[in-house]
Amino acid sequence: MQTIASTLFIPSVAQAVDAESSALENGLIESRVLENVLSPPPYQMEGSDIYYPEYFNGVWNVFSTTTEVKAPCGIQLFGGNNTYARAENEVNTSLRYKCRFVPGTKGIIADREYNVIEIAKAAMGENSVLEVPLTTPNKVSVILAPNGANQVLKADLLTLARRSENINSAEFHCTEVVRQVIGPAKPSSNGALGGGARSSLLKEIETASLYTAVRDEKGNVIEIKCRQRSATFLQPSQQDPMAYKMWELSRGRPIDVRFYDVSYTKRI
């Protein structure tokens, strides 16, 4: 939920449920977060969506605090000194936004369009979201005009893998890997959107969340606490030799890892 981002929707990939991946034992997501595992995710697409416990249903006020930033492959692969300094300056800063979960066909699901809009508004400005032309469990497309930006951007987010684990009545863990492509939304002079692949930034981001429900003396959930880790992995580019070289240097490790403490309090 900390990133805005996809490429083309491929039904045969995005809708397939991987049986071997689903057989992985509970505890995998927790270990990736608490032990800061740097290898690529071992799970694949394990469901048509993330189905949350019933107590998630409703609208929540969210308070997300960045607690730590790591550069496992060094500052240069992270993006350079200035990028790393800006990221470090976000440590101990917080983002406030609203989040909504709604009933789906198989259980409670995240309202992805609502949540993407609310996070973008909080992170990029109240009027930063111009349009959300597509929202499915496996692809979200957003047209953005962030505060301070001199152009309109198109962000595509394609979910490549997901997994969830019901630990007990109070603990729920889930994770998704999203391919993020961001480029100019306006066509270039030759009519290609964003001027072609060279103008887009391609990343795959694993966001793993460890949720714990806090109940009152009557057993009602009054708060949900979350420990979250995002890990950004580079992808090889056939169009950009430098991007390909950076991918080789990363050796399958994430270049950008961030930790968050997130609190959800019920609004409606």
Confidence of residue 84 (pLDDT cuts 50, 70, 90): very high
Confidence of residue 134 (pLDDT cuts 50, 70, 90): very high
For residue 192, pLDDT beyond 60: no
For residue 203, pLDDT beyond 90: no
| Rounded Cα–Cα distance for residues 69 and 62 (Å) | 20
| Rounded Cα–Cα distance for residues 24 and 98 (Å) | 33
Residues 6+ apart with CB under 8 A from 50: 109, 110, 162, 164, 174, 176
Chain segment 59-71, per-residue pLDDT in tens: 999 999 999 999 9
Instruction: Look at residue 19 in the predicted model and tell me its pLDDT.
Output: 57
For residue 22, pLDDT beyond 80: no
Residue count of the chain, please give it.
268
| Rounded Cα–Cα distance for residues 206 and 179 (Å) | 9
Instruction: Look at residue 197 in the predicted model and tell me its pLDDT.
Output: 39
For residue 130, pLDDT beyond 80: yes
3-state helix, strand, coil in the chain (%, to 5): 20, 40, 35
Instruction: Look at residue 1 in the predicted model and tell me its pLDDT.
Output: 40
Query: 């697409």: which residue's tokens?
Result: 45
For residue 27, pLDDT beyond 60: yes
For residue 187, pLDDT beyond 60: no
